[in-house]
């Protein structure tokens, strides 16, 4: 028998309701089981992800018995499971991603989407409903609990086929709760609750990223007791800062000095140092060059960030240290200070070891800038373990989004050394550079690659066929 949920009646003039099932394997044919006529096949010519719209009776040579295990309007399950032809109902799939919804939400137009998909749609600047194309006057997302429970029940029913039950999603924190906790002031239980909420999900951090919340956290992170200060700093590190809050931090000397003391202190815990570094990075990223110069000139900040980059056992510390050095080195005034603090050597060491904690692009961008600073090139070569090691590391990094910065740093490293130019050719730099010139890199990256090709041309063996090819002689 087919339950009411598993079959939708389709009434036609002069005929009783018919229950529609998808055919196998063609998506353009479905079976119809009528209460008064034998099963026949009809052609729908409808998209697999939409509801049935119209049917046309067509004869078939073979009539297959209806499959009661399939639901109407179903489509293949795009999961890496041994599902043996299992079909996912179209109304369980997100209209944007066409995948099984894990957190269905309804928008103002009445359409239901997976939360991650519709949030990404809106975040990219779209202001219309993807299905109806109607303007979204209200961006409120209402959880569709009924549909989510139906999806969970469907997953449980097909557990034997390898389908895992989708978890019940945690809803974002209530803004009223956030305001209530903030209004309590520098109270440890309230700050610990805020920290737990911020750590729980990105959604909660977005809810908390208001000026009211961040301004209150800035006030509590400076000038309170050590425990309150540590908790508030931890929350602020996760929530981030806007330009207004960054000015509130950098505009007061005692607050900048406090950050330097936390980063450079001998008795400061590693967690407190990481949180202070995250606040420095957030403040520098949200402000201009003058603010970055002020932060870079403060005692203890640059040295503290370099020390975090050396914390191999703590990936978060390495990641925050790299991000902090990158954003501070955007200001030219900070680059000599960074070289003096050991940033060039530490970053080059992380690049050479391939242990940049998921931040290779920022690490190489900082290395490129520091290579153009007095003493920076020698520090990079020493940090990487010598000129040949530095060249090989930079050639390896010349792929993907990091290629531009690796090429720029390589120009500085091999520019005054013929032996290092030969080493770069041996390491395979030529093929990487030709790929950059002929590929889809940015114009700035192509200019760097062209300059490096000219520089390395004299180091290429004269008898090699590539050296005499048009691509090599005229790379642009």
Alpha helices in 329-417 (DSSP H): 334-341, 343-353, 360-371, 376-384, 387-396, 403-414
What is the distance between the alpha carbons of residues 295 and 269, in angstroms, rounded to a whole number? 21
> How much is the pLDDT for 92?
94
Task: Single out the residue in 75, 96, 130 at which a domain terminates.
Answer: 75
pLDDT in tens, the chain (476 residues): 444 444 444 444 444 443 333 433 333 333 334 333 344 333 334 444 444 444 444 444 343 444 444 444 444 444 444 444 688 899 999 999 999 999 999 999 999 999 999 988 998 889 999 999 999 988 888 999 999 999 999 999 998 888 889 998 887 888 899 999 999 888 899 999 999 999 988 889 988 999 999 999 999 999 778 899 999 999 999 999 988 999 999 989 999 999 999 998 888 899 999 999 999 999 999 888 988 999 999 999 999 999 999 998 899 999 999 999 999 999 999 999 999 999 999 999 998 888 777 788 899 999 999 998 889 889 999 988 888 888 888 888 887 778 888 888 888 888 877 888 888 888 888 888 888 888 767 788 888 888 888 888 776 665 554 544 554 445 44
What are the DSSP E strand ranges found in 49-179?
56-57, 74-76, 87-89, 104-106, 112-114, 142-143
Identify whether residues 44 and 89 lie together within a single domain. Answer: no
Where is the domain boundary, 113, 136, 161? 161
Task: State the Cα–Cα distance between residues 401 and 360, nearest whole angstrom.
Answer: 9
Q: Where are the beta strands (DSSP E) in 66-157?
A: 74-76, 87-89, 104-106, 112-114, 142-143
Q: Which domain holds residue 143?
A: 77-161
Is residue 270 assigned to a domain? no
Q: What is the pLDDT of residue 85?
A: 64
- Tell me which of 24, 51, 75 is where a domain ends: 75
Domain tally for the chain?
A: 3
Residues 294 and 288: beta-carbon distance below 8 Å: no
**pLDDT of res. 462:** 57
Q: Does 425 reside within a domain?
A: yes
Residue 288 lies in a domain: no
Residue 411 lies inside a defined structural domain of this protein = yes
Q: Both 29 and 82 in a single domain?
A: no
- We report the CATH number of the domain holding residue 109 as 3.30.40.10
pLDDT of the residue at 337: 94
Query: Do 104 and 54 reside in the same domain of the chain?
Result: no
């Amino acid at each position: 028998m087919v339950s009411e949920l598993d079959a939708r009646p389709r009434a036609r003039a002069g005929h009783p309701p018919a229950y529609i099932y998808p055919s196998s394997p063609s998506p353009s044919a479905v079976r119809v089981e009528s209460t008064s006529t034998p099963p026949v096949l009809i052609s729908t010519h409808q998209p697999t992800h939409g509801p049935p719209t119209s049917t046309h009776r067509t004869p078939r040579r073979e009539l297959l018995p209806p499959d009661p295990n399939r639901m109407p309007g179903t489509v293949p399950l795009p999961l890496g499971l041994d599902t043996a032809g299992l079909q996912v109902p179209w109304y369980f799939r997100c209209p944007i991603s066409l995948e099984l919804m894990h957190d269905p939400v309804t928008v103002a137009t009445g359409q239901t989407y997976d939360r991650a998909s519709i949030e990404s749609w809106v975040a990219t600047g779209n202001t219309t409903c993807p299905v109806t194309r109607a303007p979204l006057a209200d961006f409120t997302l209402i959880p569709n609990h009924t549909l989510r429970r139906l999806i969970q029940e469907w997953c449980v029913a097909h557990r034997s086929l390898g389908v895992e039950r989708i978890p019940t999603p945690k809803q974002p924190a209530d803004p009223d709760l956030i305001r209530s906790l903030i209004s309590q002031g520098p109270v440890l239980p309230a700050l610990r609750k805020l920290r737990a909420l911020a750590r729980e999900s990105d959604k909660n951090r977005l809810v908390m990223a208001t000026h009211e919340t961040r301004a209150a956290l800035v006030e509590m992170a400076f000038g309170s007791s050590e425990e309150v200060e540590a908790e508030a700093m931890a929350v602020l590190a996760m929530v981030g800062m806007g330009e207004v809050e960054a000015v509130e931090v950098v505009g007061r000397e005692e607050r900048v000095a406090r950050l330097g003391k936390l980063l450079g202190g001998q008795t400061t815990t590693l967690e407190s140092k990481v949180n202070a570094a995250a606040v420095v990075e957030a403040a520098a990223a949200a402000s201009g060059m003058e603010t970055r110069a002020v932060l870079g000139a403060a005692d203890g900040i640059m040295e503290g960030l370099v020390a975090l980059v050396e914390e191999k056992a703590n990936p978060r510390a390495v990641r925050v240290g790299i991000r902090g050095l990158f954003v501070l080195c955007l200001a030219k005034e900070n680059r000599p200070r960074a070289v003096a603090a050991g940033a060039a050597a530490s970053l080059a060491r992380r690049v050479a070891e391939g242990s940049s904690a998921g931040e290779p692009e920022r690490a190489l961008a900082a290395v490129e800038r520091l290579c153009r600073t007095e003493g920076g090139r020698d520090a990079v070569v020493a940090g990487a373990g010598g000129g040949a090691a530095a060249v090989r590391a930079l050639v390896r990094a010349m792929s993907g989004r990091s290629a531009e910065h690796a090429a720029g740093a390589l120009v500085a490293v091999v520019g005054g050394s013929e032996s290092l130019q030969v080493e770069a050719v041996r390491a395979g730099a030529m093929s990487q550079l030709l790929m950059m010139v002929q590929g889809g890199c940015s114009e700035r990256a192509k200019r760097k690659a062209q300059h490096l090709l000219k520089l390395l041309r004299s180091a290429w063996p004269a008898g090699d066929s590539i050296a005499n090819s048009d691509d090599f002689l005229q790379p642009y």
